[in-house]
Copies of this chain bind each other. A is one copy, B any other.
C-alpha cells in the first residue's frame, strides 16, 4: 500500500483509500460534463482526486465516508499534487480492509482515552459533580469514542474530542501541582464538560464533521452544555442555585474568555481562567503540531493555519 504522504508526481498508484468527500461537479467545457471531485485520505494525509469519466451510475455509487479501490496517476495541478483516477470501485468485504485503518485518529486508542477520562471523573471528590458528568456521559453515548473536537480548527480527527480532554487533564494535573490553591474537582469537571456538547453541535462520522446540526447553529455548544448541567441537576434532584452548580456553569460559559470568541461572561474564578488557558494551550499547540507534521517533506512553510491567526508556520532546518 502506498501512503498518500509519499506520492510523487507522475507516479502510478493502485490501492485502497478512504473517500473523505465526494461531489459531482461539471467541467467548463461546452457543454459541461459531469465528473467526480473527490478527496482521498489515509492516516498519512489526504489528496484531491478527479474521476473525469464518471457515468450516471458512478455519480450515485460514491459518497463519503466509504472505502474505495482506485487506480490512477499522480499529477501536478496549480503547484499541488492531485490524483487522476482511471478506475474506481467501492471496496468489498473480500478486499479484507477495515475502513477505520484509513482514518486519521488520535495516537491513543479510543478505549484508553475514554478510560482515562472516566478515571479522572471518578477521582473527583464531590459526588454531585460526578453525577452531573455521569448524566452528560449518558447523553453522549459512544460518540466520545470517535467524535473529533472541531470541523477544522484543531483535533479534527477520529477521537479528537476525547484526546483533547485527556491532554487537558494531563496539563491540569501539572498546573494543580504548581498552584495548589486551585480547586481540582472543579477544574477536572470543567475540562470534561467544556466541549462535551460538541457531540450535539456537530454532525460527524469516522472523525469527520459534515456540518453543524440544527441545534448547533441555533444554540451552540456552550449554552447547550450549560443546559445539560441544568438538566442533570433537575433530574437528580440537585439545587440549580447552589454555589457549586453556578460555578460549574460559569466555567463552561466563560471558557472562550471573550464575547467575540463566544463567551458572554469572562472568567471570574481562578478555575475558569485555568480552564480557558489550558484549552488554549492544548488546542493551539495541537494545531501547530498538525500543520507541521502533515506538511510535505519538500516544504519549509505550511499553508496558512486558520486557528493560528491565519499564519503559515515554518519548519526549522536546524542547520
In the complex, the count of this chain's copies comes to: 6
Interface residues of A in 290-304 (CB under 8 A from B): 292-293
Q: A253 — which chain B residues lie within 8 A by C-beta?
A: 219-220, 223
Interface residues of A in 191-228 (CB under 8 A from B): 214-215, 217-220, 222-223, 226-227
Interface residues of A in 230-284 (CB under 8 A from B): 230-231, 234-235, 240-244, 246-247, 249-250, 253, 257-260, 262-270, 273-274, 277-278, 280-281, 284
A308–B78 touching, CB < 8 Å: no
Q: A57 — which chain B residues lie within 8 A by C-beta?
A: none
The chain B residue with its CB closest to the CB of A241 is B215
Q: A266 — which chain B residues lie within 8 A by C-beta?
A: 308-309, 311
* Contact (A273, B280) CB under 8 Å given A223-B253, A231-B240: no
The distance in angstroms between the C-alpha atoms of A29 and B52, with both chains bound, is 10
B171–A311 touching, CB < 8 Å: no
Number of residues from A at the complex interface, CB < 8 A:
84
The distance in angstroms between the C-alpha atoms of A204 and B277, with both chains bound, is 30
A270–B223 touching, CB < 8 Å: no
Among B27, B240, B270, the residue within 8 A (CB) of A30 is B27
Q: A257 — which chain B residues lie within 8 A by C-beta?
A: 309
Stretch touching chain B among A38-46, A92-100, A146-154, A176-184: A176-184
Q: Measured between C-beta atoms, what is the minimum distance from A306 to chain B in Å?
A: 13
B78–A268 touching, CB < 8 Å: no
Is A141 positioned at the interface, with any CB of B under 8 Å from its CB? no
Is A84 positioned at the interface, with any CB of B under 8 Å from its CB? yes
* Contact (A30, B30) CB under 8 Å given A183-B316, A243-B317: no
Q: A138 — which chain B residues lie within 8 A by C-beta?
A: none
Q: A231 — which chain B residues lie within 8 A by C-beta?
A: 230-231, 234, 240
Q: A270 — which chain B residues lie within 8 A by C-beta?
A: 285, 288-289, 292, 313
The distance in angstroms between the C-alpha atoms of A33 and B217, with both chains bound, is 42
Among B258, B265, B285, the residue within 8 A (CB) of A274 is B285
Q: Measured between C-beta atoms, what is the minimum distance from A281 to chain B in Å?
A: 5
- Which 7 A-B residue pairings sit nearest by Cβ, starting from the closest? A259-B259, A218-B250, A28-B28, A227-B230, A270-B288, A277-B281, A266-B309
A residues in contact (CB < 8 Å) with B: 25-33, 35, 52-53, 77-78, 84, 167, 170-171, 174-175, 178-179, 181, 183, 186, 214-215, 217-220, 222-223, 226-227, 230-231, 234-235, 240-244, 246-247, 249-250, 253, 257-260, 262-270, 273-274, 277-278, 280-281, 284-285, 288-289, 292-293, 308-309, 311-314, 316-319
